[in-house]
Amino acid sequence: MKNVEKYTRGYFMPPVKSLKWTEKEYITEAPIWCSVDLRDGNQALVVPMTLEEKLEYFQLLVKIGFKEIEVGFPAASETEYTFLRTLIEKDLIPDDVTIQVLTQSRDHIIKKTFESLKGAKKAVVHLYNSTSVAQREQVFKKSKEEIIEIAVSGAKLLEKYAAETEGNFQFQYSPESFTGTELEFALEICNSVLDVWKPTADNKVIINLPATVELSMPHVYASQIEYMSDHLNYRENVILSLHPHNDRGSGVADAELGILAGGQRIEGTLFGNGERTGNVDIVTLALNMYSHGVDPKLNFENILEIIEVYERMTKMKVDDRQPYGGKLVFAAFSGSHQDAIAKGMKWREENDCKHWTVPYLMIDPKDIGREYEGDVIRINSQSGKGGIGYLLEQQFGLDLPKEMREEFGYTVKNVSDRQNKELMPEEIHQIFLNEFVNLSKPIEFVNYHFTKHDDYQTVVTVKINEEEQELNGEGNGRLDAISNALRTKLGVNYHNLVYKEHAQELGSESNAVSYVGITDDNGKVFWGCGIDVDIMTSSVKALFSAVNKLTANTHLTSKEGHFITSK
């Protein structure tokens, strides 16, 4: 690509080695979560949410389990001011939920911010100003000392107005554009603010370090966080918060490594909504922890309901490949993947499994309200016998023999290939019924009766070309007797009859299902299935279905009653 020389690395490494986070294997406990959907996320929407939509979204966040929710920038927008007042005046904020509001370091804005908070039981007041080299030089044209003065004066104003306003307030400071700020200067300005507020064990302060623009690989952000965590004043009384954006597509990795490096709190949004490429996706971050056996302290057990509200309120779409939430994230089209999943699920049924280890599935889809049917096994021309057989068994109670699954798998794949589309479960079921079940052409089963002497003797009535015939046969069992009648009286040549049966439970009904495989003189196996309320009748129908499959390329002479190979 052209112009590569115009780009450079605009971040800063810590002045000392900060790599203790590399010694940690995984996140052991959930951070404090703060949703910024209603502020950072909302400001990034093409059409911001209405008051009514924000109220519904707030209730969704509460239901999920967020205990800290940033509700807006009340001094900057009448809509956000009204929204905050509505939450307070209508007592819509649960006692265990803390709201958060954003403010710049300007007297009249801070004053109005505290006015908007009158009557709030508990609130975080979030002060910020930009600190990066680019912002200082290009936007504000101020020295480091002047930038520090903006932050310090804002911190003092927060103390002043908090003292004059009834309520319980916690302070938060963000050096906005932290990732483009020299680490020594970021530390200096944060410590200057902390020296104003002097946090205590009973009155902790939040220092929030935003990757306002993601400038580096995640390990760099982690080292920056560790450096700050190791050198902040009053560290034991500081809650270190992270606010990663996703410009390089690594927001989740930034957050995860940042937590290992000392981060205690995460600001983010559902499904990563936010400016440009968005904020860190809290759904992915939380469920990643869940997949390691760590309780995320957020409830995504009904993720489809959450997606419905999210998409309706934001007019955004959750991508089909979005981790955990997307329509296709658990889907397996590949035959080998489907076979492994089906065998893994079967293994779980047959063994006492404490932990989830099913191939290809990080978590059990059912734990977040997804279903195996339709969500996991998806059928197209790339699918295999294992997945197709698993779908028939799970949704329709049909447990095909292994060899029959292979034949039916090819049948389904050929249909999908010809139609160039994914096949839905009902379509696959219908293909099975049409191609294998209770087949009546060219030989239609009518009825039978048996007598028992040394062996079984039968008279089976069939219909061929609309003409009924009675065929006599005998054998060491009922099905063997009927099979011998078909072979000797009609001249159908096959051997090696394979048989399997099971009950099919569907709702309040129960049918008997039988499968029969027969082998022709060339060694090719033909399968048929019979379904009936009577187990013997289902077996006979399965045999007739298999025989009709075998005779698909033959015709029956009307005079002799024997099958002759067609030209």
Residues 6+ apart with CB under 8 A from 495: 518, 519
If you compute the radius of gyration of the chain from its CA atoms, what whole number of angstroms results? 35
**Can you spell out the DSSP letters for 278-337?**
-B-BHHHHHHHHHHTT---SS--TTHHHHHHHHHHHH-----TTSTTTSTTTT-B-SHHH
- Is 245 labelled as part of a ligand binding site? yes
Taking the CA of residue 145 as centre, how many other CA atoms within 13 Å lie in the half-sphere pointing to its CB? Answer: 0
491, amino acid identity: G
Q: Is residue 480 marked as binding?
A: no
CB 52, CB 87: distance < 8 Å: no
40 is annotated as contributing to ligand binding: yes
458: left (phi over 0), alpha (psi -120 to 50) or beta: beta
Long-range contacts of 343-352 (CB under 8 A, 24+ apart): 343/386, 345/372, 345/390
Instruction: Tell me whether residue 233 is annotated as binding.
Output: no
Q: How long a stretch of residues is the chain?
A: 567
Provide the pairing of β-strand 123-130 with 443-452: unpaired
Helix/strand/coil for 254 = helix
Q: What is the 3-state secondary structure (H, E, C) of 44-112?
A: CCCCCCCHHHHHHHHHHHHHHCCCEEEEECCCCCHHHHHHHHHHHHCCCCCCCCEEEEEEECCHHHHHH
Distance from C-alpha of 387 to C-alpha of 380, rounded to nearest angstrom: 11
Torsion of CA 44, 177, 296, 71, to 10 degrees: -50
SS (H, E, C) 136-184: HHHHHCCCHHHHHHHHHHHHHHHHHHHHHCCCCEEEEEEEECHHHCCHH
> What tokens appear for 352 in the block?
């006492």
Q: Binding site: what residues are annotated?
A: 40, 243, 245, 279
Q: Binding site for Mg(2+): what residues are annotated?
A: 40, 243, 245, 279
